[in-house]
Structure 1
Amino acid sequence: MDPVYETDKKVKRKKVKGKKYRSEEKKNMISGYLYIAPFFIIFAIIGLYPALFSLYLAFQKWNGLSSMMFVGLDNFKVVLTDPLFWKSVYNTIIIGLMGTAPQLVIGIILAFLLNLSFLRFRNFFRVTIFMPYITSMVAVALIFSVLFSNHESSLANYTLSLFGLDPVNWGASEWGTKFAISVMVFWRWVGYNTIIYLAGIQSISNDLYEAATIDGANKFQQLLYITIPLLKPFITLTVFFSTVGALQLFSEPTVFLGTTAFTRDEAMTVVMYLYRDAFRLQSFGTASATAVILLFIIVIFATINTLLTSGYGRKKKGVSNG
C-alpha cells in the first residue's frame, strides 16, 4: 500500500471527524439557545420593552390618548420641584426603615431559635412563621383594619391603654399611619427573611457550635460570634432585596388606607406618586420620569446598604510598612 495514499486517507478522516464534531457542537449550541429562548422572549416582551418605553416616555408629554410631544427634561423638572414628590420620598424611606430594619434583626434571632435541636414542633413553627408571606392582601387588609381601627376598643388602642397612653387615630395621624403600615410590612415579610436565614444557619457546621459549647460559650455568644459572621452572604442578600422592596412599597399603604390612599400625603410613597400621575392624572410623562428617578434612588440606596453590610471600607488586617 502506498504510504502517501495512507497519509492522505488519514488526513481526510480527521477532516471528516472534525466537521462532524463541529456540526454536533453547533447543534448542541443551537439546542441550548432554543431551550432558553422562551425566557428571553417573555422577558423582552413584559420586562425589557416596558422599561425602554418608560425611559422614552420620560422625555415626552402624553396622556395616553393624544399624540406624544417631546419636552426634554421638563418632566424631571416638574417632578423634582413638586413638594409632594419629596414628601413621598421621605415617607418611603421612613416606612422602609421602620418596616424592614427590625425584620432583619428579628429574622436572624427567629432563625437561630428555630434551628435549636431541643425545640419541639420546629416544622410547625417554621410553616407558621412563613404563612404571612403567602397570605392574600385582602385578608391582610381585613386583619390590620381591625387591629389598627380608630375605635378605642381596637387591639392597638387597647394595648396603648394598658400603658396609660391615649388612643391613636391610626388611619389619619401622620405617625400613626406610618407605624401601622410599617407593622404590616414587618408582619408580612419577617417570615420570608427568617426562612432565608434558617437555610444559611443550617449550612453552618455543628462542629463550630459544639466547640463553642465546650469552651463555655452560651447561646447568645454563639449567635453573636458564630452565626452572624457566617451569615454575612445571606444578610447581604436580604438587605439588598429588602432595600429594593422598601423603596417600591405600594400594596401595603394602598390596602391599609383604601380609597383615600391617593388623596392624602401621610403615607404617599414614590410608587403611589407614580401611579397617581399615570392612572389618575393621565400624565404618563411625569410618571415615567418618576420611575427613572426611583431607579437611581434604588441603585444608590441598594449599593450603600450592600457595601455597608458586606463590610466595605474596613481596615485591612496587618501592619503597614509606611
Structure 2
Amino acid sequence: MILGYFFILGNTNCTAQSLPFLPDELTQVLESGLPKTLPSPAETGRFKKLPAGDGFVWLAESTATLKKGNKLAFSKTFDAPLKEDDVGFVAVRCRIVDADNNANEPRPGRVLIHIGDRETLRQTALYHKGTIGREWGWYFHPFRAARSLAANTGRIRLSFDVQPQRVEIEDVRLYVAPSGFDMSRLPMMEAGYQGREPDAPWRQGADARIAKYRTAPLIVRVLDPHGSTIQQADVRIRMRRHAFGFGSTFQVRLVDDISPDAIRYRQTFEELFHALVPVPALIPQHTPHAKDGNYANQLLSDLTNTLHWAHDRRLPMRG
C-alpha cells in the first residue's frame, strides 16, 4: 500500500508532524543530529545556533540569492555506497519562520537538497528542491539515485539561499535501500499550491477572464426537412474536446501499470488533459543516450508504449 501525505502551500503544512513508517530494509547512513560546527557566514546569509529543549536547532537566515549557485548551506558525509538506480529516502525536520516579507501572501520555505561526491558534488545522485511548512515537521522525499557513489565518498548538502527566508532545522536523515527495493513501498508527499482553496481571491478574476476570452455564444437552429423552424425542440450538446491544448506531463512508467492507482491515473489524465509531455523519457539526463543498462531500456520501452497510448487517444505530444 502506498501511503499519501498531502501538503498545501499557504496556511497549511508542507511537512508531516511525524516521520512515517519506513520498511525495515532501509538503513540510516547519516550520524544523528546536525553538524557540531556552524558554517561560516556567506554573502547570502548566515546560520545561528538556537537552544531548543535539551538540544539545539539551527536558524538559516537567507538575505539574498545568487544568479548561479548557493552558498548558505551545510553538509553531512556518509560512508555507505549508493549505486545508480538504487532507492534512497531523505528527510529533514524543519520549519519556515518567515519568507520574502515583500510578498502579498505568506510563502512557503524552500530547501535545495543535493547528494553527490564529497569533493565536488558533480557526481550527482539527487538534486531536489523541497517545500517547508510553518509548523515543525518532516519534509521527506524518496528518490532513485541518478549516479553511483562509492563507499566513503558520499555527501548531502542542504542549501537555503534559494529565496530570502528564515528556516529552523533540527535534524537531517538519509536512508538507503538494498538493490532491487520497490520504491512504491515508500511514502511520498503530494504537492499542492498556494491558492488552491475554492474561495481563493484569484479565482474570481480568472472566472471573469474565462467568460470573456474562452467562451462565445452558441446559436442552434433546428429545422424540419422543409426548412421550417421546429419549436421547443429538445437539443443536447456535449463538447468532445477543447480547441485549446490543455496538457500536462505524463509519467511513462504508469502507462502499462495495472495497479488501481495507475489505472486511475490514466483515466484522470484522459478526463482532464488533451496533450501530454512524457517524463522522464524526454529529459536529457534520463534518456537512453545518457544512461546504459536495464533502466534505460525500460525507459525506452515505456516511451514507446506511451506513444501508442497517446496515438490511440488522439493526444498530441510535446517535449
Q: More strand per residue: 1 or 2? A: 2
Same fold (TM over 0.5): no
Between 1 and 2, higher relative CO (CA 8 Å, sep ≥ 6) is seen in 1
TM-score bin (small chain) = under 0.3
Larger radius of gyration: 1
TM-score, length of structure 1 as denominator length: 0.21
